[in-house]
Amino acid sequence: MFLDLALLTLAAVAGTGFWFYYRRTQRLRRRLDDANRELEQLQRTFNRFAPAKVVDDILEKRTLDIAETREVTILFADLRGFTALSERLDAPALLSLLNTYFHSMDRAVDAHSGFISKFIGDGLLVLFGALHHNPWQSTDAVKAALEMQRRVQGLDEDVPGATLSLSIGIHRGPVVAGIVGSFGVKEFTVVGRHVNLASRVEALTRTHGADILITDAVKEDLDPAIALAEQPPAEVKGVQEPIVTHAVRGEGAD
Amino acid sequence: MPDDRSFDDPRPPTEEEWGTPLVEPRSAPTLEKQFRRRIGMVSGAVPYVAPHPWLYRPFLFLSDPALSALSEDVAASISFIIARDNSCRFCYSTFRTLLRLSNYSASEIQDLETHFSAQGFDETEEWGLRLAVRLSRCEHVPQALDRLRGLGYSPTALRETAGISVLNVAANRIGTTLSIPLGRFEDMGEKWYFRSWRLLTRSLLTLTGPERNGMPAVPDAGAEGLLGPWVGILEDTPVGTLLGHLAEQWLSDDRALSRRTKLLMLAVVARGIPAPELEGTVQTALREHHDVSGAAFEAAVDHLGGAAVDAAVEPRLRLARASIRYDFGPIKRIARNCTRDLDRAGTLEAIASIGLANAVARLELLFPLAEP
């Protein structure tokens, strides 16, 4: 009788111990899962405001004074046909279209090692090689431009009556990359005359009737398999000599 | 895992799924026994990386590294923060578990993640962790080397820090691209009896023979091969010896991928780091032993195309290129796309190639150490 009672007590103690231990293991496992998720969430949240590398630099150096001169390829894109479309779509539909457009551009840029520096209305400033050494930045930029165009064409098909297209100018040169802005509002971006020139090249697409234009500086390092058509020299604001650009024809980029 | 997303997919590219493993798991009793014997437990990576030594040995070594100058805590911390930096969920969980088994509390681990510091670490050790992360990212390495030398970090500790760092660079690429699933191993850190068991087994293991961490005790041949100057920078540290062996074995094994393909992959990685001396050495080897002309080499490295790159090689070069900067989403997607035409052995060899190429090429950033 006494032995039975002792065994029963022992079993009850062991069972309770096991139950507490099981609970504790489950709790700690959940904590590990939560830590994993929190880590990923934190990285994603920060990455929406600045590239991950810039966030890491800020955290490591504990300062926002981050600036360096880098060889960067700059892509300016402008969405044609959006203004006309905005007049006939209601606000929610317009916002939805714009968000879908930006998301798909983000995918195209990300797939080719670039990052979107800023949205300018319905346009974009995209950088290649700004965050780290990238010897393939010219080809990356042109391939991204072609994919952006393909995606906008897809978008066009989704909206009845829309005639959307993308005009893109690409230029390459040394720029100052860093965090600029006022005390309250700061952003990571690039500044310098080459940035302005890339913007002018985008404007030249209307002059030459081309969708994607690149400068000689981009052509120099471009994969020769990508077909180009040289355009006549054209004057642009802020540059003394007329500049020669090349229209990207799309063949050979796949 | 889908190759791409639809326009309606609201998730940003960084919110990728970990995905299903790239290769099917295989039973590997001999290797499991080796892990059990060496570290007292079996890593979840074993069924996915067997039987290639240059795939499993980084995991085996890093789980219980042989060290000559670094403390075990610093070595484990390096592995942990690099896994975190690279968002390799498998390695992150594994090394978090190992830190827990070493009695690190959750808050100490959080300190490591956010400040590169832990209880008892001095400024030198914290800068050691910074060097490790900078090597992994390939940036600002000379400044970290100068700082550590100024702080009186011993040359051996410096080399060992670098060696552990680049070995993790390889392990993270293997873990992420193969999408090795998180398994029971990750629970162990939270179980008190495993901590005690590990202490006991580790004490016993130190009494075992010369075959430590799965490395046979043979003379170091690593410093004499093609990659000798790069692995040689780690001198005779255990991790340097291991890397020397792995690099030589990897390059000399022609079964799943040709040496020529591996050299081209190495050249692409060297261009992206950049590691110009390695690129030059590989170019010479390709010209002398594989008839790759200067122009063909340039086209291969500049544009991942040209006369030296056929349809079978091109996906391997794209994979090599994607592996350099390690963006979590793209590298997984590209690894899947670029190994579609390969069988299991070929896929593992391609993954091993990007891991080791990235590890070895980063060692060129340490060449200032050889200067007087």
Q: How confident is the model at residue A46 (pLDDT cuts 50, 70, 90)?
A: low
> From the list A29, A53, A135, which residue is nearest B190 (CB)?
A29
Q: What is the mean pLDDT of residues A183-194?
A: 81
Q: What is the mean pLDDT of residues A43-59?
A: 58
Is the model more confident about A172 or about B91? A172
Cβ neighbors of A206 (< 8 A, separation 6 or more) are: A167
Instruction: Give the number of other Cβ atoms within 10 Å of residue B107's Cβ.
Output: 9
Q: How confident is the model at residue A183 (pLDDT cuts 50, 70, 90)?
A: confident
> From the list A29, A107, A221, which residue is nearest B187 (CB)?
A29
Q: How confident is the model at residue A16 (pLDDT cuts 50, 70, 90)?
A: confident
Does the beta-carbon distance from A139 to B321 stay under 8 Å?
A: no
Does the beta-carbon distance from B12 to A47 stay under 8 Å?
A: yes
List, for residues A137-155, the tens digit of each pLDDT value. 999 999 999 999 999 988 8
> From the list B113, B303, B329, which residue is nearest A139 (CB)?
B303
CA distances from B300 to B90, B293, B304 (A): 33, 10, 4
Search chain A and give the residue with CA nearest B332.
A111
Q: Which of B3, B4, B6, B7 to mutate to test the interface with A (most CBs of A within 10 A)?
A: B7
pLDDT of residue B204: 61
Does the beta-carbon distance from B14 to A221 stay under 8 Å?
A: no
Instruction: Name which of A16-25, A197-206, B169-178, B193-202 the model is least confident about.
Output: B193-202
pLDDT of residue A38: 62
Average pLDDT, chain A: 84
- Within 8 A of A44 by CB-CB distance, chain B residues are 12, 14-15
Contact B358, B324 (CB under 8 A): yes
pLDDT of residue B346: 95
Search chain A and give the residue with CA nearest B18.
A40
How do the pLDDT tens digits run along chain B, 372 residues long?
A: 333 333 333 343 344 467 889 999 999 999 888 888 877 778 889 999 988 888 899 998 998 889 999 998 899 999 999 998 888 888 888 888 888 888 788 888 888 887 777 667 888 998 999 999 999 999 889 989 999 999 999 999 999 999 999 999 999 999 999 999 876 555 565 565 666 666 666 666 555 554 444 444 444 444 468 999 999 999 889 999 999 999 999 999 988 999 999 999 999 999 999 999 999 999 999 999 999 999 999 999 999 999 999 999 999 999 999 999 877 778 888 999 999 999 999 999 999 999 999 999 999 999 988 876
- Within 8 A of B274 by CB-CB distance, chain A residues are 133, 135
Cβ neighbors of B324 (< 8 A, separation 6 or more) are: B138, B269, B272, B273, B358
Contact A139, A223 (CB under 8 A): yes
- Closest-CA distance of chain A to residue B13, Å: 7
Partners of A230 in the β-ladder: A246
Cβ neighbors of B134 (< 8 A, separation 6 or more) are: B140, B141, B144
Q: How many CA atoms lie within 13 A of B73 on its CB side?
A: 16
Q: How many CA atoms lie within 13 A of B77 on its CB side?
A: 30
- Closest-CA distance of chain A to residue B311, Å: 13
Q: What is the mean pLDDT of residues A236-241?
A: 87
> Which of A118, A137, A141 minimizes the C-alpha distance to A70?
A137
Does the beta-carbon distance from A223 to B7 stay under 8 Å?
A: no
pLDDT at A29 over 70: no
Q: Which tokens in the block code for residue B97? A: 């578990």
- The CA distance from B232 to B234, in Å, is 5
Contact map slice: A 165-194 vs B, CB within 8 A? none
DSSP B5-53: --TT----TT-----S-SS-----HHHHHHHHHHHSS--TTHHHHTT-H
